[in-house]
Amino acid sequence: MLAVLEEAPPPGLSHWDGPAVAEKLNASVHAVWRVLRREGIYLQRRRSWCVSTGKEFAPKAADVVALYLNPPLNALVLSVDEKPSIQAIERASGYVETDSGKVGRAMKSTYKRHGTLNLFAALEVGTGQVRTKFTEYKKREDFRAFLDGVLAGQPQDKEIHVILDNYSPHKRNDDWLAKFEGRVRFHFTPASASWLNQIEIVFSLLQRKALNG
């Protein structure tokens, strides 16, 4: 296992993580984590918490969570958002031992910058399918064109629920929202609680596995 960590990570990943090591060794990911803990190696350690001060947090959160736990029969539930200014930073990395004896990842301070992209993504909650579109900039028109494209292929009589955060381009322009009236219902996450939108899980995987480092 320690020898695997010295190898280059699989294509598409910026560094090794537990599942990737387990797949490489055809082993249980739990066994991998046990060995790493025993050796004092932390491939990634991140601790955080999210707090929303929104006055409408409870009803809005309940509305969104209800779509996950008990969606309307035969309805399409989409989690939609954008990840702006994605930039690939290329720099060498490796593992170093700290004074306490624990081993962690370290990266050189010098690196190359590559161009930025904006990613729009829509997650079908029921199937896990993700539809995406890359643009050079994050513009309101680009977001609406993306969502128009996602909804265009759906039957006209299908009930559709779209979960969005409170970012202003999603809510301005009543004319654009009105054209979906009767067919699409929009659900907005509470203030400072975009993490309730499941597309954020997809963005987190992308960030952790391919972009960090």
Q: What is the pLDDT of residues 49-59, one digit of tens each?
A: 667 777 888 89
Residues 199 and 122: beta-carbon distance below 8 Å: yes
Query: Residue 111: what pLDDT?
Result: 64
Query: Residue 207: what pLDDT?
Result: 79
Query: Residue 29: what pLDDT?
Result: 93
Residue 6 confidence (pLDDT) above 60? yes
Q: Residue range 110-127: average pLDDT?
A: 79
Supply 130's token pair.
């993700």
Q: Which residue has the tokens 């209800």?
A: 66
Average the pLDDT over each of 103-112, 115-124, 128-137, 150-159 and give the range with the smallest value.
103-112
Residue 83 confidence (pLDDT) above 70? yes
Residue 182 confidence (pLDDT) above 90? no
Supply 58's token pair.
């409870």
Average the pLDDT over each of 11-25, 60-74, 87-101 and give the range with the smallest value.
87-101
Handedness of CA 128, 190, 132, 154 (dihedral sign): positive
Rounded distance, CA 95 to CA 6, Å?
Answer: 8
Q: Mean pLDDT in the chain?
A: 81
Residue 114 confidence (pLDDT) above 70? no
Q: Which of 94-103, 104-113, 141-150 has the highest mean pLDDT?
A: 141-150
Supply 8's token pair.
């280059």
